[in-house]
A and B are shown apart, each in its own frame.
Chain A
């Protein structure tokens, strides 16, 4: 059915020549079908949205186009000719370029050096600088060619990445989840750049995203993937939010609450956040986590620059911010992984020594880490052992392990948190990502925490798992635990938090109650524009007053 529909679309369209045409593309990883008979048509002069949940097969499809992955079946035509894209170099020769989700820039090098990095021709700094300037002018991507990339904001770094991609003048450009590192304002600017690329330069652009709003705002046509297959495609204005969401998730969705947050429908979440908000009432509760003047230097950079924050029992405090502004380090400090250079962490009235092994855990600070494989689990141990990690560091080393009780506890948690695994003895690495995350959640919640830190807790999860996580976090807060939610997904914070802090360059640059939430203002703060119109000015002006 899908094939018939797309074949019809291919013959009659006539809006322009098909720049890329993918037919029947299939890719399997072991038993998992990442892409199943996928058709995709990118046309010049058009922004084509590729919408799908995490794991729907978007990335695999794009990796095939760029030559990083070889398909098991299917054909690719570029400008009407069948081609084999067997390497990224070949893709480049065919005029296909990609701006990756994660940056591939060298921090220590200047902008122009990064742009020409990897080119075979003779190095000509003047030419390279001109190139940066020309491309910047053509697309509205102004950036100083002589700045060190490490000193740029995430938004500017992405510009460099885009310039690097465009310098080969590809006729087909793929953007893979480009807005995940951008503030809302920077995203708007990016969409304007895409518009220039298709309208003035006649390129074909593919925009890969899992956010409904982005697809609706920025694209002309859309292909929706679910579980590796195309479920629908057509001009974007043929769809409304509801039908897009339904196609993407495969069931009716409410576009309110959990669903809206998971699908990236910003307006709905913001609206809900401002109105109908009676979650809080925690303002009188005791402070369970207080961080004062936290300073941390890493590799010669000040990554935490005097962080002050408080979390009260029973409230969810959201830390918004573009990635790379100190969130990872803040979470590391609260995991006892690094010691602060200055400042204190006080949990429930007790100062906790930072950097001492297990101290945060002993003070009952739970942690749902951003990268669970980093310090959140031991892949080569069993599920039961991973659920019992909190007890390993406590007590004498010669104490006997009570495998029976560990196992009983594990079976209980596996049932309560609906962890799908072959049993408590299953090796942790045999679990799927979502179930691994549940093990981590189960362990941290079963430790009866006073504070729970959730760092990007829903990254890489599908909509169902995101809802599960949201419900768990809220239930945990209702049970009186103070939650620090660190996330770069603004919708997630708007949806879950009672109070919002904005982090930029290692500092908390703004704070607001959820009732006053304003995406525009948060976005500006995330970009470093500190407190545009502050409702309550911070008491910092004493020096000036004296001078005046």
Chain B
């Protein structure tokens, strides 16, 4: 049993499998199956698969300014995923990103309309407040974990459901988030419009407006990738995730490090909320349901990237493509909700192969640990 015990599970582990041929084939088969199933679904609801694909590509890439919007949409997804990946590698299960995004957005919304000064000061304050808000929200879970050993998987999730009414309350109070301009129409329970100079500036490239939030996300992803690969911090985080008792023995105290990582992952989610608000991917003001599943989707991105920050970038782009592309679906007569189904199928398609390979590797490991001293898992031989 030795080699199976004390190894990370499906979600946190890296694949032991070295046979890339089988791995790639498994991914190809399951992706094709998912796309075929999606096509069948579209046809069944009275649309044409070709037209839907066309519309998706138009909406996300081909129409004027579309890919700029896709990159803008990818930014918060990437931010959420980056923090989640670091937390998962430390053995933590943070699944409250939706709430952390929302609280981050609320904090940044407050800063955007209350902090005075030149634009860059306001924008920096917005991002900082977002990070502080998300971090503080995750900090509640971190504190409960450190103080009372309450599993963070419960607290982060449940805190998400606390964050919804909390935002609603904030939006009803003019000393908090509610629009102070009582003259305007439909200002009930909405936040103030973020003024232009408090917004993240856009980069203009080939007629596309790319929100600089994307640069923030990509930059943070790059920094954390380097930190995880090249510094002791990365080794400590991995060690904590792989074997917390060994970490304790070799001087990596689980308490402070996991609390810091959990707060840090909340802070990145909160920053995603700030980018969402001041980057314009989700409207120009706080409203109920503002986070718009960006937290959940970011969690999925992290899940699919299998704990590698660099892989999260393309996955976030695919998710963003589906989001922006779906806005063009109306013309095809297919409900835009179909992209949710397509997205779900893609997620499943990308999760099934690692799950199968994981089960296979595990079976092999179990089978080969029969004799107590036999060399247990020699680099796995080809194919089952």
- The docked-state distance in angstroms from the alpha carbon of A432 to that of B242 is 19
- Chain B hits for A57, CB < 8 A: 371
- Chain B hits for A400, CB < 8 A: 230-232
A434: interface (CB < 8 Å): yes
B367: interface (CB < 8 Å): yes
Query: Number of B residues contacting the other chain (C-beta, 8 Å)?
Result: 46
Q: Return B307 CB to nearest CB of chain A, in Å.
A: 11
Partner of A59, one of B3, B7, B16, B371: B371
A63, A337, A401 — most chain B CB neighbours (10 Å): A401
B247: interface (CB < 8 Å): yes
The answer to whether B250 touches A29 (Cβ under 8 A) is no
The answer to whether B231 touches A30 (Cβ under 8 A) is no
The answer to whether A399 touches B371 (Cβ under 8 A) is no
Nearest CB in chain A to that of B374: its residue: A32
A469: interface (CB < 8 Å): no
The answer to whether A389 touches B246 (Cβ under 8 A) is yes
A375 with B231, Cβ < 8 A, contacts A34-B371, A380-B242 known: no
A305: interface (CB < 8 Å): no
The answer to whether A60 touches B371 (Cβ under 8 A) is yes
Q: Return A363 CB to nearest CB of chain B, in Å.
A: 11
Q: Return A252 CB to nearest CB of chain B, in Å.
A: 23
B368: interface (CB < 8 Å): yes
Prevailing SS type, chain B contact patch = loop
B21: interface (CB < 8 Å): no
- The docked-state distance in angstroms from the alpha carbon of A381 to that of B247 is 13
B14, B242, B374 — most chain A CB neighbours (10 Å): B374
- The docked-state distance in angstroms from the alpha carbon of A455 to that of B379 is 29
A392: interface (CB < 8 Å): yes
B8, B364, B369, B370 — most chain A CB neighbours (10 Å): B370
The answer to whether B233 touches A379 (Cβ under 8 A) is no
- The docked-state distance in angstroms from the alpha carbon of A112 to that of B242 is 41
B251: interface (CB < 8 Å): yes
B6: interface (CB < 8 Å): yes
- The docked-state distance in angstroms from the alpha carbon of A362 to that of B367 is 39
B375: interface (CB < 8 Å): yes
The answer to whether B375 touches A377 (Cβ under 8 A) is no
A392 with B235, Cβ < 8 A, contacts A374-B245, A375-B248, A380-B8 known: yes
Partner of A375, one of B16, B236, B243, B370: B243
- Chain B hits for A367, CB < 8 A: 249
Q: Return A446 CB to nearest CB of chain B, in Å.
A: 14
- The docked-state distance in angstroms from the alpha carbon of A53 to that of B40 is 61
B378: interface (CB < 8 Å): yes
Partner of B243, one of A29, A360, A378: A378
- The docked-state distance in angstroms from the alpha carbon of A367 to that of B232 is 22
Nearest CB in chain B to that of A462: its residue: B373
Binds B, one of A92-100, A287-295, A423-431: A423-431
Contact with A along B120-150 (1 / 0, CB 8 A): 0000000000000000000000000000000
The answer to whether B367 touches A30 (Cβ under 8 A) is yes
- The docked-state distance in angstroms from the alpha carbon of A380 to that of B369 is 17
- The docked-state distance in angstroms from the alpha carbon of A381 to that of B235 is 10
Partner of B7, one of A389, A401, A429, A431: A429
Contact with B along A382-409 (1 / 0, CB 8 A): 0001000110111111111100000000
B30: interface (CB < 8 Å): no
- Chain A hits for B242, CB < 8 A: 378-381
Q: Return B291 CB to nearest CB of chain A, in Å.
A: 31
A392 with B373, Cβ < 8 A, contacts A378-B246, A429-B3 known: no
The answer to whether B249 touches A401 (Cβ under 8 A) is no
A30 with B372, Cβ < 8 A, contacts A357-B248, A394-B251 known: no
- Chain A hits for B2, CB < 8 A: 373, 433
- Chain A hits for B249, CB < 8 A: 335-337, 357-358, 360-361, 367, 375-376
Contact with B along A455-473 (1 / 0, CB 8 A): 0000011100000000000
The answer to whether B6 touches A374 (Cβ under 8 A) is yes
Query: Number of A residues contacting the other chain (C-beta, 8 Å)?
Result: 57
Partner of B5, one of A60, A373, A381: A373
The answer to whether A431 touches B375 (Cβ under 8 A) is yes
Partner of A430, one of B5, B251, B377: B377
The answer to whether A397 touches B232 (Cβ under 8 A) is yes
Q: Return B1 CB to nearest CB of chain A, in Å.
A: 10
The answer to whether B250 touches A358 (Cβ under 8 A) is yes
A257: interface (CB < 8 Å): no
Interface residues of A in 242-273 (CB under 8 A from B): none
B152: interface (CB < 8 Å): no
The answer to whether A392 touches B231 (Cβ under 8 A) is no
Partner of A393, one of B5, B7, B13, B251: B251
A69: interface (CB < 8 Å): yes
- The docked-state distance in angstroms from the alpha carbon of A375 to that of B6 is 10
The answer to whether B373 touches A30 (Cβ under 8 A) is no
Partner of B376, one of A359, A401, A422, A433: A433
A393 with B236, Cβ < 8 A, contacts A357-B247, A377-B246, A429-B7 known: yes
Nearest CB in chain B to that of A367: its residue: B249
The answer to whether B13 touches A432 (Cβ under 8 A) is no
Interface residues of B in 164-213 (CB under 8 A from A): none
The answer to whether A357 touches B374 (Cβ under 8 A) is no
The answer to whether A392 touches B243 (Cβ under 8 A) is no
Jot down 24 A-B pairs with beta carbons below 8 A, ordered by A.
A30-B364, A54-B372, A55-B372, A55-B374, A59-B372, A60-B371, A358-B248, A375-B248, A380-B242, A381-B238, A381-B239, A389-B250, A392-B232, A393-B250, A397-B233, A398-B231, A399-B232, A401-B234, A429-B376, A432-B373, A432-B374, A432-B376, A434-B373, A460-B373
- List chain A positions with a Cβ less than 8 A from chain B: 27, 29-32, 34, 54-55, 57, 59-60, 63, 69, 335-337, 356-362, 367, 373-381, 385, 389-390, 392-401, 422, 427, 429-434, 460-462
Beyond the given pairs A30-B364, A378-B243, A433-B376, 5 more chain A to chain B contacts, judged by CB atoms under 8 angstroms and listed by A's residue number, are A358-B248, A361-B249, A375-B249, A393-B236, A432-B373
Closest 5 CB pairs of A and B: A358-B251, A393-B251, A55-B373, A432-B375, A357-B253
